[in-house]
Structure 1
Amino acid sequence: MKWKVILIAIICFSSNTYSQKSKEEIAIKKLLEKESATWRAKDVQGHTECWHIQPYSRILVSLPNGQTIDVPPTAMQNEKPESMGNGGFAVNSNYKMSINKNNAWVSHDELSTDAEGKRTWSYEIRLLEKIKGQWKLVGQSLHIYKREN
């Protein structure tokens, strides 16, 4: 009888833990999709809301030609619409996450299609923190490996 009670307790605890992790994963995916959409829509306010710049924040972008761009993190909070995306949309896939309390890292693939229909493929690594109960980006590394001309 004792083992049945223990088994039920373990199952309930595991379900609750999985449910909480699943909720966090959904919240993170929504944030990443919002960040991508607001960038392309030149929505400065919406894009800024996705970020929380920390003293250790960093944004690195590598291009297919081998060039690397070290974007100042403050640019995510002082963005000008003319330096933002150019319409279109993006689809993220192959999410892999590590969530540890108020910190998370996420890797995913992105297929971005601009307003003219040209596509760009990238691998992305995102660093997040939970600030006042909301997930925010604090850093990222984007590796663009293919672009249509």
Structure 2
Amino acid sequence: MDEETAIKKLLEKESATWRAKDVKGHADCWHIQPYSRILVSLPDGQTIDVPPTVMKNQKPETMGNGGFAVNSNYKMSIAKNNAWVSHDELSTDVEGKRTWSYEIRLLVKVNEQWKLVGQSLHIYKREN
């Protein structure tokens, strides 16, 4: 499997495990480092600085509530064991309401597996 495909599979797994409340599967997508950071901006201008350790220590009740997401418009820079990826995401919740975001993901390769170390999500539109 080429590196771009492996990274896309990881990002799809991270999204799916979040929505499925799969604590172990979601934690497996992450490799928290001292420089890790997770920033989320909301359509109303609010910004959330999520503690990275949360990704490895989730509680199911704080995770997503089903639905699915489709990523598109991938752009990647891969340099040996480091990568950054930007993509668009269209999320659909269990009620069919959609959320659009731009996302930037930072990854490292650990034991021949890509892992997330940070991300910045910019939610720019939500259906009410």
For the aligned pair, the TM-score class normalised by the smaller chain equals over 0.9
Scaled by the length of structure 2, the TM-score of the pair is 0.99
Q: How many residues align?
A: 128
Q: In terms of Rg, which structure is larger?
A: 1
**What is aligned with 2:124?**
145
SS class of match (2:7): helix
**1:120-135 equivalences in 2 (<5 Å):** 120-135=99-114
**What is aligned with 1:68?**
47
Greater percentage in helix: 1
> 1-side partners of 2:62 and 2:97: how far apart?
18
Could you tell me which runs of 5 or more consecutive residues in structure 1 were left unpaired when the two chains were aligned.
1-21
SS class of match (2:2): helix
Residue 123 of structure 1 deviates from its aligned partner by 0.0
CA-based RMSD of the aligned residues comes to 0.7
Greater percentage in strand: 2
- Runs of 4+ aligned structure 1 residues displaced above 3 Å come to none
Could you tell me which runs of 5 or more consecutive residues in structure 2 were left unpaired when the two chains were aligned.
none
Scaled by the length of structure 1, the TM-score of the pair is 0.85
Aligned-pair identity (%): 87
**What is aligned with 1:32?**
11
Pair 1:93 & 2:72 matched: yes
Opposite residue 90 of structure 2, the aligned amino acid is L
